[in-house]
Structure formats: C-alpha cells, structure tokens
Amino acid sequence: GTKIFKVNDSNAILECSNILREGGVVAFPTETVYGLGANALDSKAVKRIFKAKGRPADNPLIVHIADLKQLNDLVTKIPKEVKLLSQKFWPGPLTLVLKKEDVVPEITTGGLDTVAIRLPGHDVALNLLQKSQLPIAAPSANLSGRPSPTTAQHVIADLAGRIEAVIDGGPTGIGVESTVISLVEEPPTLLRPGGITYEELKDLLGEVDIDSAVEAEIEDENRLALSPGMKYKHYSPDAEVLVIEGQRTKIANEIMTLTDQYLEEGLNVGVMATKENSDSYTKSQVKVMGNRSNLMEISSNIFRLLREFDEMEVDIILVEGLSTIGLGLAIMNRLRKAAGYQIINV
C-alpha cells in the first residue's frame, strides 16, 4: 500500500528520502501542485513514475534541485539568462530548459537532448531534496490526463497503491504548474505559462517568444510542440467542458442561455463561476473559482473544482473565461486544455 505521512511527522522526510535513495517513488507538495518524485539519474526509478502515472514515454519530466550548484552536473552549458532568472525567481515556480549532460538518462528527458530544471519554493520539497541529496524528477502526481493534484487527497484518489508514499502538506498555494521557459531557443521561449508570468520574464530578459502551443485556441495535431507535454489532452475531468470567453456580463448571459438549453436536454449542468457573476447562475450547480481581481485565488482553485464536479457527476461544465494578462495566461491555458479547446466567444 501507499504510506501517507503528515507533514508534521518528524520521520516523514527521512523515511521518504530513504525510499527515494532506494529507487522508490514518493509524492510530495510543492508551491504549485503535488509532484511524483524519483531519483532523476536512475532510469529504473524514473520508469516507475511513467508506469504509475500512465504517462506517454515521450513526455519529459522536470528535474528538481535544492541548490543552484547542482546545475553544473546536469547541464552542459549555463547561458547568461540562468543567473538573472535564478536570482530573481528561485526558489519558485519557474522551470528552465537547458542542454543536458550525459548523466541525465534519456528516459527522464523523453529522449530529448535537453533537460528541464526547477528549484521549488516549498519547505517540504526542499527538505526532501536536501535530505536525499538527489536531483528528483517529478511530474505532477496525477494519473496522466487528469487534473493536476493540489491536495494529498487528489494524489491518493489517482495513485493509491501505485506509489510508495505521499507527504500530506495541505493544499498547494499557486495551484497551477510552474512556468517552463526554454533557454536553448533564441530568444528564450515560453513553453508553458505558470506561476511566473510572461510579463515578469519579459521585464527581466527583454525579448521572450511565446510558443504557439501556449495561446492555441485550436488543437493542431500536426504542430510540433517544443514542449512535448503540451500536445496531450490534459487536466480533463470526465464531464464535457466548455469555456465561454468575452466580456463579463455577456459571459453570464451566454452561460444562463446555455444552462437552459442543456437542462431542457435533461443534462446535469455545473458552472465554474467568478465571484462577480456567481449570483446569476440560479438553475445549475455553481462553484466559485474566485474573484476576477485575485487571479492567485482562481489559479489555486481550478483543478480542485474540476475534480469536485466530476465527483458530482455533472454532464457538462460551463467555465467563465478570464483575461490572459499576468497569471490569467496560465489559468486560461489550463482551462482551454481541460475543455479540449471547446471555446465559445461572446
């Protein structure tokens, strides 16, 4: 079975670092979402992550470190942007894609000659990294294709019996995954929006490209994504998801109209609403993502709400769209993916 450690259990870090050193897999909280960790340099251990998640082998993992010095062993070249970015954003929700050293096995990088590296900003994650003295490969600790886990209960719902242990550190703060930026591309290229915003990166680096997958409104099967993970259907609950984008009051009107239509068809409707609009939706099940003026509140809630609606067995989830400024870009990227790019513009 899977051992569940409370974060205040004084043995948690020691026992879990031992499991990691012996080639096992352990889920742990970070400031973004829960990760499923294994020794990044041990092919057999990393293989167990892919197996537990049911993750496609060509989708590379993020390698977590506790100290900037570990970079030297993992990458062949440290471009100038690394110093700027790490000083400003590490520890934190930023992942850097760099050319990998030979010690990093191909299974960890999905066969790529680059490796994604992050120094997380969460005590449990940092303690585990320090105690184990290992670089830890850790994707989000969900079954592949499910919404990312923001609580230990989400991890257990997906992975109980498939992993050695989970450390329960309570709900994560940011709630969407880290920003991934490639420093192998010229100019640096945003591959996945996350906790560090595009605007913050641009302020620091000057020029930053955005990979076309980030803002995609239509899934293009043929487009070769720089970030292999972006091509997979992600974050999907079992229910059908529709995102309604546009001006706030028009969104509310459209959702009310759609709700009437779906109710007529005998469907069970859920609405993921912003606080500002939530009183409009009187006929459906409503869950509030948060205030439009507090994007961090919204990002911390979206994956949990998608899971909760699934448990209520709604047939369709209507989600309010937001602006893509700041953290809004990461939120909308996840919501559009969850909807399989079914978007209504009003």
Binding-site annotation, residues for ATP: 55, 59, 114, 140, 148, 192, 235
For Mg ion, the closer of residues 189 and 236 by Cβ is: 236
Considering only the stretches 42-50, 134-142, 166-174, 192-200, report the one whose residues sit in contact with Mg ion under the rule CB under 5 A: 134-142
Q: Which does 251 bind (CB under 5 to 8 A by kind): ligand TXA, Mg ion, none?
A: none
144 touching Mg ion, by CB under 5 A:
no
Write out the binding residues for L-threonine. 32, 64, 118, 138, 178
Binding interface with ligand TXA (CB under 6 A): 30, 32-33, 35, 59-62, 93, 95, 97, 109, 112, 114-116, 118, 120, 138-140, 177-178, 180, 191-192, 226-230
CA angle 29, 31, 34 (to 5 degrees): 30
Of 1-9, 132-140, 157-165, 168-176: span binding Mg ion (CB under 5 A): 132-140
Annotated binding site: which residue ranges? 32, 55, 59, 64, 114, 118, 138, 140, 148, 178, 192, 235
Nearer to Mg ion (CB atom), residue 30 or residue 140: 140
Q: Which of 86, 109, 140, 333 binds Mg ion (CB under 5 A)?
A: 140
> At its nearest, how many Å lie between Mg ion and the CB of residue 311?
20
Which residues are 273's β-sheet partners?
A: 288
